[in-house]
Structure 1
Amino acid sequence: MLAPAFSAKNMEAMRPRVRHLLNDLLDDLVKQDQPADFHEAVSFPLPVLVICELLGVPAEDREEFRSWSEATSTLNDEQKSMRGFTNLWAYMGELVAKKKKNPADDVISRLIGQNPDAREQEIAQLGAGLLFAGHETTVSAIDRAVMLLSLNPDQWHALERPGAVAATVEEVLRHRSPVSARSGDSGLPRYAMADIEVEGTVIPAGDLVLLGIEQANRDEDRFPDPAAFTRRVPNPHLSFGHGFRFCVGAPLARVELTETLAALVTRFTTFGLAVDLAALSRRTEQLVGGVVQLPVRWTEA
């Protein structure tokens, strides 16, 4: 149901709008005293504004949506997490009902029009999932890009080379955060639908399987010197999944990340962290981890 709306072609059509939103946010950033919080000024609002526009969510509701989203991703309070997603779902249910009466040029309206037999609650649940998943991971990826480039200034200076931005984005996606909120990757939980034999071992139907995406992305057979942050072509990381189970939002995330890096290297001659990594506060209680703040300094071009 979602794949057509998030096709690479449709997301490319969003690129000028993403660029416009990003430039407005950077204009506001450079008006602030240095150091400024890049997370609050750019990393968080950009994906939120973009996904809200795509889904047809009023931008003025984004602060309320932010609190629900953060509650949903809470790891240490199940009731809080459930309340957060329930609020997101209820909000999207009201929005779906409005879009059904007054459709517009947005993903929710198209889902309603293209799936007339789908229940409103089904579309509302999809919308709530998109609101949550469509920004949390991208926020962390943008922050991670700034941190990794700050630690690897040679990669920052190389961004102006042809093709360097796209290749750097893929390496950001592959590489783990230098301030990972948890000690290790707990794995992506899935359950075997049937008996599966892997390397002579049978995984019985119904068993829990933890897929080590981060470990796969650091496989030395695929990625020489996997701990290094460097442009790799090709870069067959599994951060978006693989094959049929591929993240529907991957084209959008790539557009947002490439536009962000391209804008930074165009507008600034120097740009990076204003503090040591050890001074950053980590979001240890949130599903996607990341940082609370990202203080940066810059020199405008």
Structure 2
Amino acid sequence: MPAQDGMPALPFPQPDPMAPPPQLLELAEHEPVARVRTQAGDEAWLVSRYEYVKRLLNDDRLGMSHRDPERAARISNSSLFSGPSPEYTFDEEFAKHAEMRRMLSPFFAAKQIRKLQPRVERLAAELVREMVKATPPVDLHTQFSWPFPVLVICELLGVPYEDRERFRALSYTIADLRDRDASMAALMELIAYMADLAKRKRARPADDVMSELCRTQDDDTVAMRCAGLLFAAHETTTGRIDMGVTMLLGHEGQWSRLVAEPELIDAAVEEIVRAAPIVSIGGLVRYARSDIELGGVRIREGDAVLLSLVAANRDPAEFPGGDRFDIGCPRTGVHVAFGHGRRYCIGAPLARVELRAALAELITTLPGLRLAVPPGELRIRTSKLSGGLEGLPVIW
């Protein structure tokens, strides 16, 4: 939908929850570096071609900080990921980001996550066993997709799971794209909770990430890192579980094929990660640190840039037939759903293990799972940072 000045305005209408917004795909085809109006009313560049997105993900001319953050374009009114990062100054961003990765990467390394895998699988099984006690239709989002990754990240960090309803309320408000004051207040409450928990971990350490971080970091740093991890690790995975199940059930033959051929589960996970149309604010938020020439367009220093991973992962130049969701189709391209290069998501191994465990348990315990409503009746969370679905009613 264009703004009053004729500029494409976010969020783009998404009539089909299983497909990206048509306007996004049109821009990707005809104007892959396009000027758009953000939800906050500011201007930004939307980059949607795979070649460009992949290049910029690993380009030092883009960053999460800004020389003048108070004057930088905002993407939305959420307190997270919708403007320059408050964690980094312009001059220190790369050094501090590298330090953060060195600090956290050991906890999310593939070897460590493999050790966690049996516990992740048991948690998935426990939740599905509880869910099937209810009379369908059941909201899979509420009963499984949301609590499952919360259970996992709480266990990994060492956060009491009994506080999950508090996290649910706080996360929901933090992700609000419209009410900045409420979003910021919820974020501050989550950080304060984490700071108090860090003090308790320091006094009585346990075998968890928070206790390990407390050995080398102050309480404020631990609180900031763990608050961000708690939010990011469950919100993004929840959306992918919801959308993955929806796409498997909504595309004829995909769910039944996975039930019949469970050896396709890893391929299904990658196809879900590649194709899930979770658009939220439009893309990864970055700011140009210097002028960039891209596709015949000059992006000026300080401009906001949105990298559309959703559009890039359907680019026919990289993924022939990429507009189709097909767990049996071999993909020669390498998706950028988890980023690329130095910005590659350290949580990718955990997300893959969670998605695999979720699908494996659902196809085993509920092979007859079906959507309780037509896909077109599912409601997309357009007002929330993490996107995804408001609910996912299912029957079996």
Counterpart selection for 1:221 from 317, 320, 331 = 317
Question: What is the Cα deviation at residue 233 of structure 1?
Answer: 3.5
Say whether the 8 Å CA contact 2:319–2:332 is kept in structure 1: no
- Structure 2 unaligned regions, length at least 5: 1-102
Counterpart selection for 2:307 from 197, 207, 211 = 211
Matches of 2:188 and 2:391, distance apart in 1: 27
Matches of 1:189 and 1:236, distance apart in 2: 21
Counterpart selection for 1:266 from 356, 364, 368 = 364
Residue matched to 1:195: 291
Matches of 1:274 and 1:199, distance apart in 2: 44
Higher alpha-carbon deviation: 155-164 or 74-83: 155-164
Question: What is the Cα deviation at residue 123 of structure 1?
Answer: 1.5
Say whether the 8 Å CA contact 1:19–1:259 is kept in structure 2: yes
- Structure 1 unaligned regions, length at least 5: none
Task: Within 5 Å, give how 1:43-192 maps onto structure 2.
Answer: 43-113=145-215, 116=216, 118-159=217-258, 160-161=260-261, 163-177=263-277, 186-192=282-288
Question: What is the Cα deviation at residue 198 of structure 1?
Answer: 3.1
Say whether the 8 Å CA contact 1:171–1:235 is kept in structure 2: no
Say whether the 8 Å CA contact 1:146–1:273 is kept in structure 2: no
Q: Residue 296 of structure 1: SS of its match in structure 2?
A: strand
Matches of 1:235 and 1:2, distance apart in 2: 29
1:255-281: CA deviation from partner (whole Å, max 9, x where unpaired) = 010111111222233212111123223
Matches of 1:280 and 1:215, distance apart in 2: 21
Matches of 2:288 and 2:263, distance apart in 1: 40
TM-score by length of 2: 0.70
Say whether the 8 Å CA contact 1:74–1:287 is kept in structure 2: yes
AA matched with 1:165: I
1:134-155: CA deviation from partner (whole Å, max 9, x where unpaired) = 1001111101011001112422
Say whether the 8 Å CA contact 1:187–1:212 is kept in structure 2: yes
Residue matched to 2:380: 282
RMSD value, Cα: 1.8
Residue matched to 2:142: 40
1:2-60: CA deviation from partner (whole Å, max 9, x where unpaired) = 11101111111111111111111111111111211111111011001111111110111
AA matched with 1:170: E
Task: Within 5 Å, give how 1:236-255 maps onto structure 2.
Answer: 236-255=334-353
Work out the percentage of aligned pairs sharing the same amino acid: 46
Matches of 1:234 and 1:161, distance apart in 2: 21
Following TM superposition, the consecutive aligned residue runs of length 4 or more in structure 1 with deviations greater than 4 angstroms are 199-202
Matches of 2:304 and 2:379, distance apart in 1: 33
How many residues are aligned here? 291
